[in-house]
Amino acid sequence: MNPETAHKVTLWGLRLAEKMRVLPLVMGKVPSDPVEILGMKFPNRVGLAAGMDKEADTVNAFGQAGFGFVEVGTLTPRPQPGNEKPRLFRLIPQKAIINRMGFNNEGIAAGVENIRSATRFRGVLGVNIGKNKITPNEDAAQDYLACLRAAWPVADYIAINFSSPNTPGLRDLQAAEPAARLLASLKSEQSNLAAETGRHVPIFMKVAPDVTDEHIAELSRVFLDEGLDGLIATNTTLSRAGVEANPRHEEAGGLSGAPLT
């Protein structure tokens, strides 16, 4: 089956199985192994990374399947179609995937509405946010701030995706100066929202793996100076190390799976 169709069918099947309450029978019992991080109580250590449930419409099902947390998104302020298909490729012998989805999503408002209806989910809910493709990098902070405000009431944590390789120029925001500017505006809005709502929602920056030691040192300094709550490591890689034997390694996009691990 075409990989993107398989993805859609899987999500559809999970939603159906959840409605019929059969997932625990198929998945078996998930051992309880609670962890507390920054006040968030994770029922276990296994979570679902961003990009699987982009629209947040399958949260109940992933919860019933046993995931301790689900990170939905990436969601952007306005809906956008993402890149042209095909945009998802399997590299089966290498246990890897290349994707260049490009933040296909129905927009943050639709995502938030879906999260609100996921009333049976008991795990930790992360909302991963990004900027629209048409938003220039100079205005990127406005996109992230709009999503931060929209996601605040429904999120246990918020992940800032500034490391996807599939939105042109996005990774430029990871240079020390733009990263510091972006994080400063996010932290300031986080304080405003916490004061308004009486609730603190931690902000995590999701970083790319394609960084030099020097860049890691610079970013670490920025994150410490700005008081970042946490890091998510990592997004997909532009490297093709370990998959050169597969003709699909020439597809543009981010590589994930075994070679990245």
Ligand X SMILES: Cc1cc2nc3c(=O)[nH]c(=O)nc-3n(C[C@H](O)[C@H](O)[C@H](O)COP(=O)(O)O)c2cc1C
**By the rule CB under 6 A, 249 interacts with ligand X:** no
Annotated catalytic residue, options 164, 220, 239, 256 = 164
Nearer to ligand X, 24 or 66 (CB): 66
Cis amide prior to 86 (ω within 30 degrees): yes
The residue from 206, 222, 223, 226 that contacts ligand X (CB under 6 A) is 206
State yes or no: residue 74 binds ligand X (CB under 6 A).
yes
Q: Is 94 in the site for ligand X (CB under 6 A)?
A: no
Q: Does 99 engage in binding with ligand X (CB under 6 A)?
A: yes
Taking CB under 6 A as the binding criterion, the range among 12-20, 28-36, 142-150, 253-261 that sits at the site for ligand X is 253-261
| Neighbouring-strand partners of residue 207 | 233
Q: Applying CB under 6 A, which part among 26-34, 44-52, 142-150, 174-182 lies near ligand X?
A: 44-52
Q: Give min distance, CB of 4 to ligand X, in A.
A: 8
Q: Is 164 a catalytic residue?
A: yes
Instruction: Provide CB contacts within 8 A for 139, sequence distance 6+.
Output: none
- Give the nearest distance from C-beta 10 to ligand X in angstroms: 12
235 near ligand X (CB under 6 A): yes
- Judged by CB under 6 A, the number of residues near ligand X is 21
For residues 228 and 40, give the distance between their C-alpha atoms in angstroms, rounded to a whole number.
16
Nearest to 108 by CA among 128, 91, 92: 128
β-bridge mates for residue 123, sequence order: none
Minimum Å gap between C-beta 128 and ligand X is 5
One of 11, 18, 51, 65 touching ligand X (CB under 6 A): 51
C-alpha to C-alpha distance for 156 and 50, rounded to whole angstroms = 14
Residue 88's contacts (CB-CB under 8 Å, 6 or more residues apart) are 3, 4, 7, 97, 98, 99, 100, 101
Q: Who contacts 15 (Cβ-Cβ below 8 Å, separation ≥6)?
A: 57, 58, 60, 61
Residue ranges of alpha helices (H) inside the chain are 3-19, 23-27, 59-64, 108-116, 140-151, 176-197, 213-226
Comparison of 212 and 261: residue with beta carbon closer to ligand X? 261
Is 118 or 206 the residue whose CB approaches ligand X more closely?
206
Q: How many CA atoms lie within 13 A of 152 on its CB side?
A: 20
- Interface segment toward ligand X; rule CB under 6 A; list 33-41, 55-63, 99-107, 195-203: 99-107
How far is 128 from 101, CA to CA, in rounded Å?
A: 15
- Work out how close the CB of 197 gets to ligand X at its nearest, in angstroms, rounded to a whole number: 25
Q: Which residue is nearest to ligand X (CB)?
A: 51
Enumerate binding residues for ligand X (CB under 6 A): 49-51, 54, 73-74, 88, 97, 99, 101, 103, 128, 161, 164, 206, 235-236, 256-257, 260-261
